[in-house]
């Protein structure tokens, strides 16, 4: 499955990060790889880093997972898009989740500089950007905090 297939409006409701052992055909053994598991519209997806040769890395194909991420929360409306190419023409294959309420980026996952000799696995998570994590206070409370 390709990251671009998730472009559109979705409800984001879970995330988990960690490491798993993945069989590596190049080295003929298993290697420890970073992973991100996340839930959109009730479907659990898993993206796994391919460390390649230690200098290059990338995001392997996106997979649907039977297991839910360990961290779940009430569904949050997201707008999913693909990140544009870099300022020097670097081609990116990165899915960006932007909170539909706050307009802030919540998660980025994929491969940066994917058409170059040195591609790079790319993952960032900003939970503070989700609407459920926003602090809402009145003007009076703000002034009291500011001037106390």
According to the model, what pLDDT value does residue 138 have? Answer: 67
Number of domains in the chain: 1
Q: What is the pLDDT of residues 107-124, one digit of tens each?
A: 999 999 888 888 899 999
In which domain, by residue range, is 52 found? 3-146
According to the model, what pLDDT value does residue 55 have? Answer: 67
Question: 30: phi > 0 → left, psi -120 to 50 → alpha, else beta; which?
Answer: beta
Helix (H/G/I), strand (E/B), else coil: 15: strand
Q: What is the pLDDT of residues 26-51, one digit of tens each?
A: 556 777 889 999 999 999 999 999 87
Lookup: tokens for 69: 């991420």
According to the model, what pLDDT value does residue 137 have? Answer: 63
The pTM for the full model equals 0.84
């Amino acid at each position: 499955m390709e990251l671009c297939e998730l472009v559109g409006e979705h409800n984001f409701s879970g995330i988990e990060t960690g490491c798993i052992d993945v069989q590596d055909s190049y080295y003929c053994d298993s290697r420890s790889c970073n992973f991100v598991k996340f839930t959109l519209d009730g479907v659990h997806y898993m993206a796994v880093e391919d460390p390649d040769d230690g200098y290059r890395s990338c995001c392997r194909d996106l997979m649907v997972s039977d297991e839910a991420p360990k961290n779940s929360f009430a569904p949050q409306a997201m707008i999913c898009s693909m990140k544009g190419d870099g300022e020097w023409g670097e081609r990116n294959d990165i899915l960006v989740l932007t909170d539909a309420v706050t307009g802030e980026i919540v998660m980025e996952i994929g491969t940066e500089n994917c058409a170059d000799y040195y591609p790079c696995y790319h993952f960032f998570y900003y939970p503070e950007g989700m609407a459920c994590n926003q602090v809402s206070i009145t003007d009076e409370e703000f002034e009291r905090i500011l001037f106390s």
